């Protein structure tokens, strides 16, 4: 209210003992939403690899020595861009086995 009443963000910050950046963000939020209430934090993210479980299981069954990086590359070729860690966590969570190291001829 102080900012919308004409006070500067610096003056309001000094008066209430908060950072200028906080006053700026609150006034921006007020102008855009009409409220200074914080937005939602956190939440549940859908697991990216869940819809591809059958493909991943089939690839592991077909190629038992498949590496995480190779599986990640095969998923990327199908348009599923995920990190190495995402593949690892998915396999671990689902109890799927895989070969850690590439097979050397």
Percent of the chain with pLDDT over 90: 51
**Nearest 10 degrees: CA dihedral of 41, 44, 47, 51?**
-130
Does any domain span residue 41? no
- On whether both 56 and 25 belong to a single domain, the answer is no
Per-residue confidence at 97, pLDDT binned at 50, 70, 90? confident
Does any domain span residue 100? no
Q: Pick 1 or 70 by higher pLDDT.
A: 70
Q: Kindly tell me the sign of the dihedral angle through the C-alpha atoms of 18, 19, 24, 28.
A: negative
Contact criterion met (CB below 8 Å) for 33 and 42:
no
Does any domain span residue 104? no
Per-residue confidence at 42, pLDDT binned at 50, 70, 90? confident
**What pTM did the predictor assign?**
0.52
Does any domain span residue 15? yes
Query: What is the extent of the structural domain holding 18?
Result: 3-33
DSSP annotation of 52: G
- 52-77 pLDDT per residue, tens: 999 999 998 898 788 889 999 999 99
H-type alpha helices, the chain: 9-16, 20-33, 53-62, 68-77, 84-94
1 has a pLDDT exceeding 90: no
CB count in 10 Å sphere of residue 46: 6
Q: How many domains does the chain have?
A: 2
- On whether both 61 and 28 belong to a single domain, the answer is no
Does any domain span residue 88? yes
Does any domain span residue 39? no
Does any domain span residue 101? no
Mean per-residue pLDDT over the chain, rounded: 87
Does any domain span residue 61? yes
Contact criterion met (CB below 8 Å) for 76 and 68:
no
């Amino acid at each position: 209210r102080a900012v919308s009443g004409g006070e500067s963000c610096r003056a309001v910050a000094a008066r209430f003992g908060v950072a200028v950046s906080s006053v700026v963000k609150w006034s921006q939020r007020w102008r855009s939403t009409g409220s200074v209430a914080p937005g939602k934090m956190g939440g549940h993210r859908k697991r990216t690899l869940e819809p591809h479980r059958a493909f991943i299981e089939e690839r592991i069954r077909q190629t038992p020595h498949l590496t995480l990086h190779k599986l990640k590359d095969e998923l990327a070729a199908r348009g599923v861009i995920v990190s190495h860690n995402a593949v690892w966590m998915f396999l671990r969570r689902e109890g799927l086995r895989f070969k850690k190291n590439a097979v050397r001829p």
